[in-house]
Structure formats: C-alpha cells, structure tokens
Amino acid sequence: MAEVIIPEDAKYTVWLNEHDEEVRKYTGKWIAIKSGIGIISAGESEEVYKEFKKKYPGEIPFIYHVPRADEEDYIL
C-alpha cells in the first residue's frame, strides 16, 4: 500500500475538525496550534504570534481565527 502524504496545512485542518469542541472554547479569538501539542496560545493575532515565536523560535506557527457564527474562517 502506498504511503499517504498529507500537506502540513491539511494536517491542521484535520486537527481542527477532530478537536472542534476544544477549538470552539476560543470562539472570536486567534489560536496558535503546534503539531503534536495542540493549542498553545489564544488571543489577538499579534499576541498569539509573538507568544508562539517566544516558545518555539525556529518554527512556523499555524495561526487560526476561531469564527463566531456571524464570521468567516481566517488562517494566517
């Protein structure tokens, strides 16, 4: 059987779907997700980015805005 390779961004989309209940706790906020760990920060986008880079300086964060019912999805 061939190995299935999932692009990094798709992995986060899968993670978001699998952890919907946890993610919804942050409705209206930006969250930073670290592969293998989960949500490591929540708040305003710039704060979340800075906190992630402080904890994991050599890594690229996956930052996601958890939309309210009246908003659309945003990923940075």
- Residue 63 pLDDT: 87
pLDDT above 80 for 6? no
Higher model confidence: residue 41 or residue 25? Answer: 25
Amino acid 8: pLDDT: 62
Tokens in use for 74?
A: 């945003």
Structure token digits, residue 46 = 């710039």
Residue-averaged pLDDT of the chain:
81
pTM as predicted:
0.76
Give the DSSP letter string of 1-48: -PPP---HHHHHHHHHHHTHHHHGGGTTSEEEEETTTEEEEEESHHHH
* Residue 11: per-residue pLDDT: 80
Please state, in angstroms and rounded to a whole number, the distance separating the CA atoms of residues 59 and 76.
Answer: 14
pLDDT digits (tens, 9 = 90+) for 29-46: 998 888 778 888 788 888
